[in-house]
Structure 1
């Protein structure tokens, strides 16, 4: 079964959630995984695409929107539609409110929870669903 890591932030804002997503993406990529960031919608994907260029002045994380011509040549992709077919060493960072179809095919899955009420409710349901499906679910409580 796929291991699911939940990162629980003390913040309430979408900006904090996406900022942490950038740092986590860098860490996951640094561990040798290909990575797909599954966003809630086009707006979030475009915002995150922009943030990945600027989240740290000394960082470079090669990425592209899954719908672009560059998607095949970069290790990190973003989209809000169906998941791409993963290779054996592909991780998924799910920023969508629901668990996407095909999540079982990924080596690892990460979920980010902040203290926004809507996120708490939807991710609590995801947690329960992952457990029902028999996945190993691990939480990481982050400090401010």
Structure 2
């Protein structure tokens, strides 16, 4: 059963949320775990791809879009099935992934934007209804 955590940011800025996703992806990759960054749409996939190239000048995070290389250490995608099992899902999509059981850890990143807060609260309830024990982590 995956460990589920909601990382809560104090800001409303969408860019801070994406930056946190990149930092968490780098940390998981450095720990030797495969990472799937699940975006809301193709524009956000492209933004994450670009941000992973430049968010830390001294560090390279090996990544690719799912359609280009589904086995990259860090994969950016939407609702594609992950090519590896037991990795980390960083969910930026307002809905739950259809592949929850394929991951050992799921991270939802929440900021203080009202619509996102509502969606994340619903996800928290949905995880509980499915028998998971989601945890809240303040950033």
TM-score, length-normalised on structure 2? 0.95
Deviation at 1:66, TM superposition (A): 0.3
The 3-state SS of whatever aligns with 1:64 is: strand
**Structure 1 moving runs of 4+ over 2 Å:** none
Give 1:1-144 correspondences, 5 Å limit.
1-68=1-68, 70-72=69-71, 74-87=72-85, 89-142=86-139
How far residue 83 of structure 1 moved from its aligned partner, in angstroms, is 2.9
1:69-98 CA-to-partner distances (Å, cap 9, x unmatched) read x333x21100123232432x3111111000
Equivalent residue pairs, number? 139
Distance in 2 (CA, whole Å) between partners of 1:38 and 1:110 is 10
Distance 1:86 1:133 in 2: 23
Look up the SS of the partner of 1:71 in the other structure: coil
> Contact 1:2–1:136 at 8 Å: present in 2 too?
no
| CA RMSD, 1 decimal | 1.1
Counterpart-to-counterpart distance in 2, 1:43 and 1:108: 25
